[in-house]
Amino acid sequence: MRIGVLALQGAFIEHEKSLRSLGCETVQVRKREQLENIDGLIIPGGESTTIGKLMNDFDIADPIKALAEQGMPVFGTCAGLIVLARDIVNSTQPRLGLMNITARRNAFGRQVDSFETDLQIEGLGPEPFRAVFIRAPYIEEVGDGVEVLATVDGKIVFAREKNFMAAAFHPELTDDTRVHRLFINFCKTFHNLR
Ligand code: GLN
């Protein structure tokens, strides 16, 4: 498997480390040519307004959208979730808007800027996943076809729709690679369909 990691800003190196530890080849994506021959794309955490703006400046938003519409799997984490959302509460910032979800930025409030919690994730088995949240969004609303994979206090923090996955937390910041493995398996499924 060759997985691209959008490398305009944010925690892309950590994602590459997790993917490589699972035997994947990784590609840092900054130009449209680097989207060729990848089996999936991760949009990392960072600052969603910056990532959205740089995607337009680097002329890479439209090629990503075109490939995503042809079935390329895309996984957005934290800021990446926001970039994938069709609607963002109180924001007109640039986005890919590929998923039928409404994201709320910095949604857990100032008092709990960053926190860790044990998540039960659909499809990962009974063992909880220790999830790191940093100024995290959550998914306020999901549309048709969106499957909820995990919640924190009733707030949706992990979801999937067609060839897209979005997590409000940072799976690349812990040693547990099960979420990355889930995405790789997801990429394999879509690879076989193409
Ligand atoms: N708060 C950031 C945003 O709105 C996301 C934070 C993160 O990716 N850790 O873009």
Q: pLDDT tens digit string along 5-38?
A: 999 999 999 999 999 999 999 999 999 999 999 9
Is residue 194 classed exposed, middle or buried when 0-12, 13-18 and 19+ CB atoms within 10 A define those classes? exposed
Q: Considering Cα of 187, then 148, then 98, then 20, what sign does the dihedral take?
A: negative
What is the C-alpha end-to-end distance of the chain, expressed in Å? 14
pTM: 0.97
Residues 107/99, Cβ–Cβ less than 8 Å: no
Is any atom of ligand 1 closer than 6 Å to the C-beta of 135? yes
All domains of the chain, ordered by start, with CATH?
2-193 (3.40.50.880)
Is any atom of ligand 1 closer than 6 Å to the C-beta of 82? yes
Distance CA 101, CA 85 (A): 5
Cα 137 to ligand 1 centre (Å) = 7
Is any atom of ligand 1 closer than 6 Å to the C-beta of 105? yes
Asked if the model's pLDDT at residue 159 lies above 70, the reply is: yes
pLDDT band at 194 (very low <50, low <70, confident <90, very high): low
Q: What is the dihedral of CA 92, 40, 162, 68, to 10 degrees?
A: 50
pLDDT on residue 190: 83
Is residue 175 classed exposed, middle or buried when 0-12, 13-18 and 19+ CB atoms within 10 A define those classes? exposed
Q: Which atom of ligand 1 is nearest to the CA of 46?
A: 8
Tokens encoding 128: 């909880």
* Helix/strand/coil for 153: coil
> pLDDT tens digits for 25-71?
999 999 999 999 999 999 999 999 999 999 999 999 999 999 999 99
Is any atom of ligand 1 closer than 6 Å to the C-beta of 73? no
pLDDT on residue 192: 77
pLDDT band at 74 (very low <50, low <70, confident <90, very high): very high
